[in-house]
Amino acid sequence: MKDIQALFRANRSLEEAGPMEAYMKNQFTFLGIKAGKRKKLLAEFIKENGAPTDLLDYVIVLFKEEEREFQHVAIDLLSRYGKEQPREAIQVYEKLIVTKSWWDTVDGLAGTIISNHFKLYPDLIPTYNEAWINGENIWLARTAILFQLKYKEQTDTELLFSNCEKWLGSKEFFIQKAIGWALRQYAKVDSDAVHVFVNTHPLAPLSRREALKHIGDT
């Protein structure tokens, strides 16, 4: 692909960048390109230049860029063109999870990219889930907890509850939030099972509130 970075930097907005950086706790530099414009610029670029032929290598390059929009562009590209990548792509996705990690990129990768990849190659789940949920990196653990968000009736309930159990004692906001989010989502499928889990495990108050948000306490 030609230099998409130049296109985006030519469309930077210092006026928009400030509030975007503040929203992300000033952890990243922004060009000031909001999601709608980002997607429009990317669509126009692809229309003119075509889709990337070296997608996995290209998203790694984008994740190395300083400005946060480029990590979002990488996820946009994976969402659009990465649905049937080779099984070894999981190694790239794992690398992206731990690169410039924060909820915005991790959730995009976990809830869509990795979620779809595990559906395509379910035999990968045991190995990677075990490593992520038993490791010390909170973003890999969050990914393990969240990757089944869209699985609905196909959710491996035993795995979901086991993943949550292993991090119940965590003080990390993003882990507590992930546990509650995952349980809340599964409650749409089996609210009774979520009620039982919540009432028999010492969830953090945040996790409990999130889990019961739409089904109420019992």
Q: What DSSP assignment string belongs to 188-216?
A: TT-HHHHHHHHHHS---HHHHHHHTTTT-
Question: Does residue 196 sit within a domain?
Answer: no
Question: Does residue 80 sit within a domain?
Answer: yes
Question: Does residue 111 sit within a domain?
Answer: yes
Question: Does residue 171 sit within a domain?
Answer: no
Count of domains forming the chain:
1
User: What mean pLDDT do residues 81-95 have?
Assistant: 95
The whole-chain average pLDDT of the chain stands at: 96
Q: Where are the strands (E) in 80-157, listed by range?
A: none
Using 50, 70 and 90 to split pLDDT, how confident is the model at 218?
low
Q: What is the pLDDT of residue 126?
A: 98
- What angle (nearest 5°) sits at the alpha carbon of residue 213, between those of residues 207 and 218? 90
Share of the chain above pLDDT 90, in %: 95
Residue 137 half-sphere exposure toward CB, CA atoms < 13 A:
19
Question: Does residue 35 sit within a domain?
Answer: yes
- CATH at residue 63: 1.25.10.90
Q: Do residues 121 and 87 lie in contact, with contact meaning Cβ atoms separated by under 8 Å?
A: yes
139: tokens are 């973003």
Does residue 83 have a pLDDT over 90? no
Backbone angles phi, psi at 56, to 5 degrees: -65, -40
Q: pLDDT, tens digit, for every residue of 157-182?
A: 999 999 999 999 999 999 999 999 99
Using 50, 70 and 90 to split pLDDT, how confident is the model at 1?
low
Question: Does residue 188 sit within a domain?
Answer: no
Question: Does residue 190 sit within a domain?
Answer: no
Q: What is the pLDDT of residue 217?
A: 81
Residue 12 domain boundaries: 4-151
Residue 49: closest CA among 95, 18, 114, 4? 4
Question: Does residue 162 sit within a domain?
Answer: no
